[in-house]
Structure 1
Amino acid sequence: MDHLPHSTIEQWGVLRAVVEHGGFAQAAAALHRSQSSVSYAVARLQETLGVALLEPQGRRAVLTEAGAALLAEAMPLIDELARLEERGRAIAGGGSVRLRVLVDTLFPKPRLFDALEAFALRYPQVEVSLCEVVHRTLQETPDAEYDLAVLLAEPGARWTTLIADMPLLAVAAPVHPLAQAQHTLTRIMLSSHLRVEMREAEAAIVPNANSLWEEGRVWRMNSVETAIEAVRRGLCYGWLPHHMIEADLDAGRLVRLQLASGAVRHIPLGLRFDSDSAGVIPAIAALAALLAAKEE
């Protein structure tokens, strides 16, 4: 393009208002402008384009065929500019353009998306950059990587609000030897079978309170869904999130293992964000409150 457009978004917006409200007087009232300024904007637009955009139909002003085609192309531009202006006002008022959110993949998806849906309605100008992680703790994640995080919370973690306790059940496929055992399983019995572990590929292997049961060969998966499928296929056994395998247990695709102890592990998920930033950017505090809200 070797020249600037001669029509303006304002003129197209006035035309849209005339059509939506049914006339010049109605559009003027809706836009809080004089009727003469509305008529002038449409007249200049038609003069610039060299084509009639409106025609009278009774007491209403309706689009001509050309007007309908051209306005249809202009409407996305009007909406986009309105969105940009809204974002600009949010920035000028200290609002955030994008929130970086880290969420452990164990956090229930219905609860996550209920929160995101409510947030999008309240803050349509804010973009969310969501990253799911696997078994990453708040302690090992630098604060600079996120604006808000829902990750594994270590005992006594500071500036953290516990918002979920995710039970992991020891399970296997019905065909797996451990599932067919007729007696309570011991640590030695478990150690002779392949176990699946959910962990990010680059994460360090840190000893924990469950290490008593974590001997033997391990397959590490960086996706919960992949770990579940590996257990479904009978390749291994493992501790899997109850809310993600409930249907498999009901259908008999997976069965709970009878362990002497440790058949259920509880994974605490904590919410953390910079409360000072939330004072400046209300959207952070709003999303935090929505994520922390318990399911009814």
Structure 2
Amino acid sequence: MFRAKSTLEQWRILQSVVDYGGYAKAAEKLNKSQSSLNHAVAKLQNQLGITLLEVKGRKAYLTSAGETMLRRSRQIMQDVQALESLAQTLDKGWEPEIIVATEILYPKSHLYQVLNDFLPQSRGSRLKIREEVISGSLEAVKSKSADIVVTNLVPQGYLPNTLCTVGMIAVCAADNQSIARQPMKQEELANNLQLVISETGTTKNELGWLKAEQRWTVDNFHEAILILKTGIGFCWVPTEMATPLIDSGELREITITDYHRREVAMHLVLPDRDNAGPGTLLLEKLFYYHHELLSKEED
């Protein structure tokens, strides 16, 4: 029977040394002594018979063999974590925490109603609600860092259910003088300063409606609207959010002759359906009930 020469803890230490750029920082993050980390990595290298790290100055660098082994070790750690998560699910226990990641464009009115319906049935589960922007929601699915994801982008291999579509319109301050001439073409609008919402993912997506050369990046639509009201720039804003501000005379819609209002589909995905617990599955159903994709009679 195979007996491993190395331990998961040794690999965790190696990963930390690499991720934090050296033994000193890794020791601080892991709350261990630097000497214990040195010993663990040295023992790991000795057990495997290969050099994984080389120390130059105060930094530790991976060897080519170390890069390969580290990459495989990360996958093994993820597999072990998934295995232990599966064990928790198999005993039919209710999840102590459910992570919900939603694309920033998904209307809050929908989200809050679903959460309100979930509360009396939640059995004390903690909800961690995360707001993502464009690539962030895509990466939440790929990395399985959330139990439920509402996203506008779906990676290959996943079968989403479309909840709704969100309209997007270009708006500016009602008294914005630099965008006073209307209607205008897309290329004319692109010559103006655009306010965009910062993506939460590491991979940036250059969507067609985010291509103005001049742009300021902010964290959310609330900040963007505050800047718009001062007379600066334009922004693509969800129709539901923009309409009250247009009706009140604070903002105005920009008429673009060669571009219709953009519709963005919002999809629901369970990144790890095989290991989804009863609370996650209930929350999924509540999203479907709310968007009338499933009736309680059909359930």
TM-score normalised by structure 1 residue count: 0.61
Shift of 1:201: 6.0
1:93 aligns with 2:92: yes
| Matches for 1:26-175 after TM superposition, within 5 Å | 93-136=92-135, 138-141=137-140, 142-154=142-154, 158-175=158-175
Instruction: Tell me what 2:66 maps to.
Output: none
Gaps of 5+ in 1: 1-89
Partners of 1:238 and 1:157 lie apart in 2 by: 33
CA distance in 2, matches of 1:110, 1:179: 31
Higher-Rg structure is 1
Give the superposition deviation at 1:219.
Answer: 0.7
Any unmatched runs of 5+ in structure 2? 1-88, 293-299
* Alignment check: 8 A CA contact 1:201 1:221 kept: no
Q: Alpha-carbon deviation of 1:227? A: 1.4
Equivalent pair of 2:152/2:266 in contact (CA under 8 Å): yes
Instruction: Decide whether aligned partners of structure 1 residues 123 and 294 sit closer, same or farther in structure 2, where only a CA change above 3 A counts.
Output: closer
3-state SS, counterpart of residue 184 of structure 1? coil
**Structure 1 residue 177: Cα displacement:** 2.8
AA in 2 matched with 1:275? R
Q: Percent identity?
A: 19
> What is the alpha-carbon root mean square deviation over aligned residues?
2.5
CA distance in 1 between partners of 2:132 and 2:200 (Å): 11
Q: Distance in 1 between matches of 2:192 and 2:251?
A: 16
Does residue 288 of structure 2 align to residue 292 of structure 1? yes
> How far is 1:144 from its partner?
2.6
Partner of 1:200: 199
SS state at 2:280 partner: helix
User: One-letter code of the match for 1:172?
Assistant: C
Residue 265 of structure 1, CA deviation = 1.5
Query: Match for 2:279: what amino acid?
Result: A
Distance 1:200 1:155, change over 3 A: closer
Q: Deviations over 1:68-121 (max 9, x none)?
A: xxxxxxxxxxxxxxxxxxxxxx99532211111111222222211111111110
> Which amino acid is the alignment partner of residue 276 of structure 1?
D
Rounded to whole Å, the distance in 2 between the matches of 1:144 and 1:201 is 15
